[in-house]
Chains A and B, each alone.
Chain A
């Protein structure tokens, strides 16, 4: 039982004062739900659970923390942790990573999330302890002939559309947006102290629910995710209006992987494409 193991590890970490807090999941208030929790007292570790509803990317709680943290991390969470370490948002020494090989997370109807279906890093890429056996990775899924469910299929279909059709799709999706900022705030790599949409001097984006302002916000946010988004699905999970945000973030991820041969969040010692320059960097997209 992963739940029991997580509890034991957390108890030990807190008792031995190796960490100040353990960030994990506890039972949610709704059926088929789990919710992030912060445990500081070793007597409370029994609250910790593990099941297929532990979808939240807990790396979201890390940026700029000063304490020592034990953190429960799935594959995607661990990749976001790598990004945060690369970007100096948290120090490796502050973390005790309780890695959990993940079989994919489900929604409240018990259906596997579509980003979990194409996940290629179910096993944590960085951890201090691993709970349970490693699971088989899905690498082969990348180019299986005849299968439509490949990693980039949806994006490749989209790329074939005309500019005006792409724009139409973008407009129709983003016109649902209510500017609640949940996509940004649920994202572990959207940690700017002051987001460009909140800045007032100068103001870059209008304040109303005007569609062009909404589009400007999303495009700005998504471009900032280049080489940083791990396709963990936090943004689409948080969006109350079911906006297909991954249609846009995945394009950025694909460009990172195909143009710069860089897969996000795998190695803390490799420089991300935004932080480096190579002479043979692809320039095809600059026209």
Chain B
């Protein structure tokens, strides 16, 4: 597929056309900050953002997803599937870090035994990225094998040039969106290349990712875990804002003799996350919980999927109420004996 260009002045027209066909989700400025939300008109969209407060995972793995309804009838139990959404979704303006997180979620939810609910949403969703040339001081995508212009997990990537958007179509699914657009010129390609190089230069890696897995393999009993967790207040900000965290809990919400089975986000930072029915908790303190968080992201997922469970978006760094910075945690582990 050839690269395309869209004049900046035509962007709103382009999005308006998409809104007719898709449920379009884009960055929107709200009281709580810039968040990814459904837009009904292009006026709602806010493209002057570094990244959104929430990640886009909630559109593929909702915080609370109803799986099915159930009801106890006289001689039987009735199970009702919930209706599928017919209209397709399109996420516009996804940052490459969040795109990479979707590629990781795909490994978890689509390979081996595919998850029907995730698969349904994923197949129904187009993901258009927006390259990132103004990284925040909390950004570290290049430290975790990502990049500000990475196309991983995306169906297409937009790059903001001076006059135009330079569009890199990635998958066949999005081809038809761009057929009417002009092909990019050599100058456009060069301008985009230059922006990419500059953006990458601004994001010097903050740790050596290649050393991490091996270090963690022998670090289960490293005394460093005693220190790392100490100031953690056990809230779920880091995991809930993380685009790659995907652990969930299944609950029955029941009223009388009928109810709904739901899947909710859960957090390894919550003490009850691993509580057994016997009331034994194998991860009894925050030490074991933090060890698991780091091991899962930087060791187990790497081993099982080939990818890390961290994409360097920096949300956990920016919003942690006690400044427990995962970049420092990794550096401390690498430096520990």
| Residue B13 interfacial (CB < 8 Å) | no
CA distance A60 to B230 in the complex (A): 12
**With A182-B235, A182-B237, A240-B53: A29-B325 Cβ-Cβ less than 8 Å:** yes
Query: Which listed residue (B137, B230, B241, B319) contacts A38, Cβ 8 A?
Result: B230
Contact with B along A223-242 (1 / 0, CB 8 A): 00000000000100110111
User: A182 to B236, Cβ gap below 8 A?
Assistant: yes
B16 within 8 A of A: no
- Given known pairs A35-B231, A185-B233, A241-B32, the reply for A178 and B317 (CB within 8 Å) is no
Q: Which residue of B lies closest to A187 (CB)?
A: B233
**Beta-carbon contacts of B315-328 to A below 8 Å, as 1s and 0s?**
00111011111011
Minimum CB–CB distance from A72 to chain B (whole Å) comes to 13
B323: chain A residues at CB < 8 Å are 28-30, 33-35
Chain B residues contacting A176 (CB-CB under 8 Å) are 30-32
The interface of chain B, by Cβ under 8 A from chain A, is 30-33, 53-54, 63-64, 137-138, 230-231, 233-237, 240-241, 249, 251, 253, 262, 264, 267, 270, 272, 317-319, 321-325, 327-328
Contacts of B327 in A (CB 8 A): 29
Pair B64/A237 contact, Cβ less than 8 Å? no
**Which of A29, A31, A35, A240 has the most chain B CB atoms inside 10 A of its CB?**
A240
Closest Cβ neighbor of A176 among chain B residues: B32
Known: A56-B321, A56-B322, A241-B53. A31 touches B249 (CB 8 A): no
- Check B240–A178 contact: CB distance below 8 A: yes
A37 within 8 A of B: yes
Q: A29-B328, A181-B270, A208-B253 are in contact. Are A240 and B237 (CB under 8 A)?
A: yes
Known: A35-B231, A38-B231. A181 touches B236 (CB 8 A): yes
Interface centre among B53, B138, B272, B321 (most CB of A within 10 A): B321
> Does A99 touch B at the CB level, under 8 Å?
no
A38-B231, A182-B235 given as contacts; is B241 within 8 A of A240 (CB)? yes
Point out the residue from B30, B240, B264, B328 that lies within 8 Å of A207, measured CB to CB: B264
- Chain A residues with Cβ below 8 Å from B235 are 180-182, 184-186, 238
Query: Judging by beta carbons under 8 Å apart, are B319 and A240 in contact?
Result: yes
Report yes or no: A180 in contact with B236, Cβ–Cβ below 8 A: yes
Q: Please, which residues of chain A bring their CB within 8 A of the CB of B253?
A: 206-208
Question: Can you list 14 A-B pairs with a CB-CB distance of less than 8 A?
Answer: A30-B317, A30-B323, A31-B137, A176-B32, A178-B54, A178-B240, A182-B236, A182-B237, A207-B64, A208-B251, A208-B264, A209-B63, A238-B235, A242-B31
Q: Which 9 pairs of residues, A with B, have the shortest CB-CB distance?
A: A208-B64, A238-B321, A35-B323, A182-B235, A180-B236, A29-B325, A185-B235, A185-B233, A28-B323
